Amino acid sequence: IAAYEMIKFSVNLHRGCFGGCAFCTISAHQGKFIASRSKGSILREVEQITRMPGFKGYISDLGGPSANMYKMQGRDLSVCAKCKRPSCIFPAVCPNLNADHTPLLDIYRSVDSMPGIRKSFVGSGVRYDMLLHRGKEQKANRAAEEYTRELILNHVSGRLKVAPEHTSDRTLNVMRKPSFNLFQQFKKIFDAENRKHNLNQQLIPYFISSHPGCTEEDMAELAAITKELNFKLEQVQDFTPSPMTLATEIYYTGYHPYTLEKVYTATTPAQKTAQRQFFFWYDKSNRAKLIAALKRLRRTDLIKKLHLDVK
């Protein structure tokens, strides 16, 4: 089983996700409340992995649906029991959420000190908005800073996956994702730590085209913004409606069910291809189509920015 090869040396630390992204089903099928394994249970599994044939000392993932939600929950659970928010971190981190990264740091360090372990990586997606969040508790703020450093210096296997999903804040709002500014802030920290410690690690951002709310022009801007940041995107997908999600409801009805506002969604194959092709501005076979699209969108300024005029 090909997928088994990928996960056989990885350890799942928790279930559930309180991110509540509009296109994702995890909170529908695993729940919004995090169920975390005990430290003992995790370390026992790691110890078993060290005895597996072919194991060379590298844990490929200490993760979960979102890598950094281990042991996080509301401070006052009676408030959570009545809560109707679909996300604990969007549009802002809930003041009742205890987003302390200390227990997760303890897991990383405990795993790394075990006999037979050379390195443990984080292959699951990291919520960088929680790393940048600063609340009232100084201990949690310090832990977020320390976790960020520990993650970048000791747990990246060459490439760190993060999911800004878009550059347009209007589309991100429909996605229930944080502003693209936060990604840029995180990238600065990531690049600075890499420079400081002479590391040559890459940040791999994930993006989605054709999500409800996203227009062709948003995609053209996404191409220009990510090019400016020196990314040649690989980890991309065109939106596929999946059951039980807010995004799918908007996709089918054309309306946002919370506000009853109309929301544009690319639904035809031609509209979806037109959006998707902007990911691949560097592919010469797309050049003529992109130039034609940018003229139609009256965004000829982006032709230069994307170097589409350079033969």
Residues that bind ligand SF4 (CB under 6 A): 18, 74, 79-80, 83, 85, 88, 94, 96-97
Buried b (16+ CB within 10 A) or exposed e, 248-274: bbbbeeeebeeeeeebebbeeeeebeb
Shortest Å, Cβ 148 to ligand SF4: 22
Which residue number, 97 or 156, has a Cβ lying nearer to ligand SF4?
97
User: Alpha-carbon distance 302 to 295, whole Å?
Assistant: 10
Q: How far is the CB of 17 from ligand SF4 (least distance, A)?
A: 11
The residue behind tokens 């799918």 is 248
Q: Report yes or no: 57 and 116 within 8 Å, Cβ to Cβ.
A: yes
| Token code pair at residue 310 | 């350079």
Give 76 or 261: the residue with its C-beta nearer to ligand SF4. Answer: 76
The 8-class DSSP code of residue 262 comes to B
Q: How far is the CB of 219 from ligand SF4 (least distance, A)?
A: 31
- The smaller minimum CB distance to ligand SF4, of residues 95 and 254, is found at 95
Alpha carbon 122 to chain centroid, angstroms: 13
Nearer to ligand SF4, 15 or 161 (CB): 15
3-state SS assignment for residue 102: helix
Q: Give min distance, CB of 94 to ligand SF4, in A.
A: 3
What percentage of the chain's residues is helix, strand, coil (to nearest 5)?
45, 10, 45
CB of 86 to ligand SF4, least distance (A): 9
- CB nearer to ligand SF4: give 43 or 83: 83
